[in-house]
Amino acid sequence: MTIPTEPIGSIPRPLHLIEAVAREGGDDAKLDPLYEDAIRDTVQRFEATGSPVITDGEQRKYHNFWTYCVHGLPNTAPDGFKIPFAAGHTRRMPRLVSGPFRYKRYADSYLDVAKRYAHVPVKQAVISPSALSLMYPADGIPGYSREQFIDDLLNEHETEIRRCLQKGAHKIQIDFTEGRLAMKIDHSGELLTSFIDLNNLALARFSGAERRLIGVHTCPGGDRDSTHSADVDYAELLPSLFELNAGNFYVALAREKDRVRVLEIIRKYRKPEQYVFVGVVAPIDPRIETPEEVRDRVIEASKYIPMDRLGTTDDCGFSPFSDDTSTSRDTAFAKIRARVLGTELAARLIGGR
Ligand SMILES: [Zn+2]
């Protein structure tokens, strides 16, 4: 009997790669061998943790999980939506200045490289349509309506997921960190509702069988050991989150102050067929969890989520932004190992599927 366990995605890049990127820019062909080495090393170390599912550590997602697919587009300007972090810094996304909207790259290109080195299943994270929708300016673009933009955006997102499915991704995880942030920006809930509706339009393009391979990740953000929306009550997000027509949910939970209350909300709003992977290690906490702590968190969660719908995950990626050095690679892999061992301990005690 096992309990499924999966990572979220990013692993801190090797410091020499971060320095080279700072010097040369993320797209310089000179960096290709460095990226390749980083991916090979990440896959090897990931497999050494015992994690039954791995990622490429997003070594090549430049500059981050949010804008990798649009970075370098000629029809953008740098002064787009700002993501404010509690530590005081902001991250900024590009603004679209003209149509049509097209991705510059699709995430399946990362899968190609990872699968060359991997011996176990590889999952792939992609960014949500709702996150990218923030690229369209509030005052519109002459000759390119918001409706045209949304249509192009949904087509590109669907294409990216289909390409990942065709290449045999174990799961496709849609990163939806802006879900919780939406309740901070717009307390009325209108923005969150519009995000859910948009992402459901995208999910409706897939069959039931395909949606069982698609998941959604929610978290309060993670950058330089800081968050953007941990102060938003999960009770404001989770009822809407489970309205998303996806098969799997990857929910940051390890650092929540009152995990039981969150689990009670999950129990109330999770649809019977939906799998929930609860976060059992916290990337932004420098202390490495013990397997026993992880085991106890899994047992706690199993009281609220049926065993045949329960899995474990990390609370978030370990460095969603490529230049984030707040967590070392050693720490990230040690935490992943604790997740794997602790989940196995729990499965021995309470079973699994
Ligand atoms: Zn996250």
CA of 318 to the centre of ligand 1 (A): 9
CA of 181 to the centre of ligand 1 (A): 12
CA of 30 to the centre of ligand 1 (A): 30
Judged by DSSP in three states, 249 sits in strand
CA of 68 to the centre of ligand 1 (A): 15
* 150 neighbors 158 (Cβ within 8 angstroms): no
User: Which secondary structure element, helix H or strand E, spans residue 43, and what is its range?
Assistant: helix 32-48
The two most distant CA atoms of the chain are separated, in Å, by 61
CA of 250 to the centre of ligand 1 (A): 9
Residue-by-residue pLDDT tens, the chain, 353 positions = 799 999 999 999 999 999 999 999 998 999 999 999 999 999 999 999 999 999 999 999 999 999 999 999 999 999 999 999 999 999 999 999 999 999 999 999 999 999 999 999 999 999 999 999 999 999 999 999 999 999 999 999 999 999 999 999 999 999 999 999 999 999 999 999 999 999 999 999 999 999 999 999 999 999 999 999 999 999 999 999 999 999 999 999 999 999 999 999 999 999 999 999 999 999 999 999 999 999 999 999 999 999 999 999 999 999 999 999 999 999 999 999 999 999 999 999 998 77
pLDDT, one tens digit per residue, over 290-324 is 999 999 999 999 999 999 999 999 999 999 999 99
CA of 197 to the centre of ligand 1 (A): 21
CA of 145 to the centre of ligand 1 (A): 31
CA of 127 to the centre of ligand 1 (A): 11
CA of 227 to the centre of ligand 1 (A): 9
CA of 221 to the centre of ligand 1 (A): 5
CA of 142 to the centre of ligand 1 (A): 35
Long-range contacts of 185-191 (CB under 8 A, 24+ apart): 189/236, 189/240
CA of 106 to the centre of ligand 1 (A): 20
* 179 neighbors 122 (Cβ within 8 angstroms): no
CA 94 to chain centre: 19
CA of 295 to the centre of ligand 1 (A): 22
**Cα–Cα dist 212/191, whole Å:** 26
* pTM, entire model: 0.98
**Cα–Cα dist 317/8, whole Å:** 5
CA of 177 to the centre of ligand 1 (A): 6
CA of 231 to the centre of ligand 1 (A): 15
**Cα–Cα dist 298/344, whole Å:** 10
CA of 315 to the centre of ligand 1 (A): 7
**Cα–Cα dist 152/255, whole Å:** 37
**Cα–Cα dist 345/350, whole Å:** 9
Q: Other CB atoms closer than 10 Å to residue 6's CB: what's the count?
A: 24
Residue 52: asked if its preceding bond is cis (omega within 30°), the reply is: no
**Cα–Cα dist 152/292, whole Å:** 47
Full strand arrangement of the beta sheet holding 214-218: 124-127, 172-175, 214-218, 248-251, 275-281, 310-314
